[in-house]
Amino acid sequence: MSDRLPLITATKRGLYCPPGDFYIDPSKPVQTAIVTHAHGDHLREGSARMLLATPGLGVARKRLNDARNIVPVEYGAPVTLGPVKVSLHPAGHILGSAQVRLEHDGEVWVVSGDYKRQADPTCAPFETLECDVFVSETTFGQPHFVWPDTAAVVGNIVRWWHINRERGKNSVLFCYALGKAQRVLAEMLQHTREPVHVHGEIGTLVEVYRAAGIEMVPTQQVTATSAADLRGALIRATPTMTRSSWLRRLGMGARAFASGWMLLEGESRRRGYDMGFVVSDHADWPALVSTCQESRARRILLHHGRTDRLAAHLVGLGLDAAALGGD
């Protein structure tokens, strides 16, 4: 097996499969792209053909100007691209997120895409796949990244909101529009049924999630609402709004950010927020390690983030691990 050409290689346009002549999450338009999910650094305009897991179709349509080239593929359903058998499997990252399983000449590779192992009421759970070679992302590939229980963190978000409300202040919780926003709104059902105000793109994507049957607390779209109307409210907004006139019109209030990066000491203040809540849609360090082990792969290839740290740790555990090579 060792003299085989790699089934996946890193290129300037992204991960490429030479025998199948297709890319995974290419950075530039290509003939055939497999798109693991609809986040902006994975789904890009312009490829002639984009294969994407069916549950992510609604979200992708909202994110693309031209979605005609999308080919929806059911989880687990094999598609043949040249001599390569390809299938998509849940990655537990956001609605419709997928790992890519490739089978060629008796060899199986799995490309994780972004993934997490924590429970998430807004998407199908990560599916453990055994393979010969596992290509894993390592966004949070350092040992201090260990996530707290998200349900407990969301309980703290609700308490933070209610305390601010008692003080007559509004609360703005910033986070990425796709995935994180909806996950927190779904987890909030354990604590409250009160409506939450959602800004712009978050509101649009909440509707897509609702159409997919995902239950969340009631939401109200805000655009140019006056500050007085939102006294005591919880408002969800994207980080791009932090310096907007819209936010200034809300007046004084509490500002927080929800992200895995909030685990870093002082990170919320550095970014100009009063508070940070640790909520991540990526695998933390223990989940990266256990997922690599559970793949039972004879070789682990890492990309995205601190590959060196995780590679060294996995080698210490007796696994064959390295950063993903390319041309």
Question: Which residue ranges make up the site for Zn ion (CB under 5 A)?
Answer: 39, 41, 114
CB of 304 to Zn ion, least distance (A): 7
Beta sheet of 219-222, edge-to-edge order: 219-222, 196-199, 234-237, 170-174, 253-258, 275-277
Q: Closer to Zn ion by CB, 114 or 187: give it.
A: 114
In this structure, what are the phi and psi dihedrals at residue 161, rounded to the nearest 5 degrees? Answer: -60, -50
Q: Closer to Zn ion by CB, 114 or 120: give it.
A: 114
Two tokens at 48? 């002639």
CB of 85 to Zn ion, least distance (A): 25
Q: Using CA atoms, how far apart are residues 83 and 86, in angstroms rounded to an integer?
A: 10
Whether the Cβ atoms of residue 202 and residue 237 lie closer than 8 Å to each other: yes
CB of 139 to Zn ion, least distance (A): 7
Q: Closer to Zn ion by CB, 247 or 323: give it.
A: 323
Q: Closer to Zn ion by CB, 39 or 44: give it.
A: 39
Whether the Cβ atoms of residue 29 and residue 36 lie closer than 8 Å to each other: no
Plot region of 27 (φ>0 → left; ψ -120 to 50 → alpha; else → beta): alpha
Q: Closer to Zn ion by CB, 123 or 275: give it.
A: 123
Residue 65 burial (CB count, 10 A): 6
CB of 318 to Zn ion, least distance (A): 29
CB of 303 to Zn ion, least distance (A): 11
